[in-house]
Amino acid sequence: MRLLLLADTHLPARARDLPRQVWAEAEAADVVIHAGDWVTPDLLDALEARAARVVGVWGNNDGAELRRRLPEVAHVELGGLRWGVVHETGPKQRREERMRAEHPDVDVLVFGHSHIPWDTEHDGLRLLNPGSPTDRRRQPTCTYLTCTVGGGVISGLELHRLPVRGR
């Protein structure tokens, strides 16, 4: 099963649309996971129309319509792993310990908010943040993650770095 992991797309505030490369990944994925800060429901509608399956949550920049349609925390089983999706996890100090305590029944937790890619493991919990494909903030590039899951194993996890616009 092929997954595309996104967060912090901030459309249309930070970009008019997702980069073509990200749309191609969304159309090829079995599941698109979005860890919040969509900003408007338009991207959710477009992903639901073009992707096989979308699992998403709302973030701190998401209004009433997205909060009505999406949960604050999502749980799903994919490829023999228990996945959780949440937007915010708080400060990076002791993040792994806090998230393990808050999400005891999860194998993988996808989160956003910081726009900083993250991949750590602690006490059986893998924490993944794909960064942002549209708003790099203080990062050198915009980013997203892809991976394959099956038999309880994540394989081929890849952080994709998008070209900086105007270069």
For 75-131, write each residue's pLDDT tens digit: 999 999 999 999 999 999 999 999 999 999 999 999 999 999 999 999 999 999 999
Lowest mean pLDDT among 54-63, 69-78, 126-135, 158-167: 158-167
The pTM (predicted TM-score) of the whole model is 0.96
Closest to 9 (Cα-Cα) out of 69, 93, 66? 66
Confidence of residue 140 (pLDDT cuts 50, 70, 90): very high
Range 57-69 average pLDDT = 98
Please give the mean pLDDT across all residues of the chain.
96
Can you list the domains of the chain with their CATH numbers? 2-162 (3.60.21.10)
- For residue 25, count other CB atoms closer than 10 A to its CB: 23
DSSP-derived letter for residue 167 is -
**Contact partners, residue 122, CB within 8 Å, separation at least 6:** 96, 97, 99, 100
Nearest to 143, CA basis, from 126, 167, 127, 159: 159
Asked whether the predicted pLDDT for residue 166 surpasses 70, the reply is no
DSSP at 51: S
Distance, CA of 25 to CA of 13 (rounded, Å): 22
Q: What's the confidence (pLDDT) of residue 167?
A: 46
| Residue 75 backbone phi and psi in degrees, to 5 | -130, 135
Could you give the 3-state DSSP secondary structure of residue 44? Answer: helix
H-state helical runs in 16-164: 20-28, 41-50, 64-69, 95-102
